[in-house]
Amino acid sequence: MNYTLHQLQVFVKVAELKSVTKASEALHLSQPAVSIQLKNLQDQFEIPLIEVIGRQIHITEFGHEIVESSKKILKEVNDINYKTLAFKGQLVGQLKISVVSTGKYVMPYFLNEFVNEHPGIELNMDVTNKLKVVKSLEDNAVDFALVSTLPSHIDVKSEPLMPNTLLWVANQDYDFQYKNNLNALKKVPLIFREYGSATRHAMETYMKSYDFPVGKRLELTSNEAVKQAVIAGLGVSLMPIIGLKNALLNNIVKVVPSKKCPITTEWNLIWLKSKKLSPVAQAYLDFIKKEKHDIIDNKFNWYEDYISSL
């Protein structure tokens, strides 16, 4: 047997994602490179590891056994690397963060310097909708979560990061001419985020407050998809401006003034109140408390300037 750690890593990722294409993207490899590694690993076993039925990859019973063994081997190797770095006095371990989808425009800027300062840290950041973010926190599967609305059914501690401002936006073809376009907004197609999104909740709360009629609506599952639909002229949406920098500054979309807008909430880094933070997690929290204002000043100056100009 001459299988390599790289072959085991590739096989585990293919098994997790059930796709060579997705595995290649996750590992930053070409599809042919992933296929070659799979073949080289399979050639060392007489029993099939995977079966391809139609276009779907299925892991065989024997393959599942190899996956579990591979995970143990890879974990031991990682542990050796961590121990080596720790022996040299470096901060080592995993930092797990779950981020609501719009938070992908925020969180990387609050991670970059910390991760670069500590090469022994393995970052795992999952970007998903609010329901899944809160569930991962509730299950103690992550150290921190980034949300704009604090969950009410679990006890958490929080560290405020920066404002989250939402505005009605449309493409340049829509003709909104007034300082308050509430009545006009009630007549146009509206674009929503999916159920469970904090942005959708804010939009529905606003509509309920001002008796919006049930009219044409489109539902999409990401902030980026909503933005592209707005740009294409499919409708109007209430969106966090943090993800609209280029579209706003280049006049690709425009703000629609309306009653009691903008709506401002706050991005919060939260963690379970009962959780004992790991050394890595505690170090990151200390970093955030110390550096967050400088990060905002250096990375989000356009954001503050744009809000103040409204």
Mean pLDDT computed over 166-177: 90
Per the model's pLDDT, the better-predicted residue between 82 and 124 turns out to be 124
What integer best gives the mean pLDDT of the chain? 89
Q: In the chain, what are the domain boundaries?
A: 5-87, 93-162+267-309, 163-265
d(CA 59, CA 141): 25
Greatest pairwise CA separation for the chain in angstroms = 74
Express each pLDDT in 202-238 by its tens digit. 999 999 999 998 777 899 988 889 999 999 999 999 9
Pick the CATH number of 93-162+267-309 from 3.40.50.2300, 1.20.120.160, 3.30.70.3270, 3.40.190.10: 3.40.190.10
Query: Would the pLDDT of 177 be above 90?
Result: no
Superfamily in which the 163-265 domain is placed by CATH? Periplasmic binding protein-like II (3.40.190.10)
| Neighbour tally for 87: CB within 10 Å | 9
d(CA 110, CA 122): 15
The predicted structure's pLDDT at residue 175: 85
| Neighbour tally for 112: CB within 10 Å | 12
Pick the CATH number of 5-87 from 1.10.10.10, 3.40.50.620, 3.40.640.10, 3.40.50.300: 1.10.10.10
Query: Would the pLDDT of 159 be above 90?
Result: yes
Query: Would the pLDDT of 283 be above 80?
Result: yes
Query: Would the pLDDT of 180 be above 70?
Result: yes
| Bridge partner list, 217 | 190
Express each pLDDT in 138-154 by its tens digit. 999 999 999 998 888 89
CA-nearest of 290, 167, 305, 286 to 238 is: 167
Same fold: 93-162+267-309 with 163-265: yes
Query: What type of residue sits at position 23?
Result: A
Express each pLDDT in 36-79 by its tens digit. 999 999 999 999 999 988 888 999 999 999 999 998 888 888 77
248 phi/psi in degrees, rounded to 5: -75, -50
Mean pLDDT computed over 157-170: 94
Express each pLDDT in 79-109 by its tens digit. 777 677 656 667 788 899 999 988 999 999 9
The predicted structure's pLDDT at residue 101: 87
Structure tokens at 103: 């938070």
Express each pLDDT in 2-41 by its tens digit. 889 899 999 999 998 888 888 888 888 888 999 999 999 9
The predicted structure's pLDDT at residue 27: 85
d(CA 256, CA 288): 34
The predicted structure's pLDDT at residue 88: 64
Mean pLDDT computed over 270-278: 92
d(CA 161, CA 266): 7
Query: What type of residue sits at position 34?
Result: V
Query: Would the pLDDT of 132 be above 80?
Result: yes
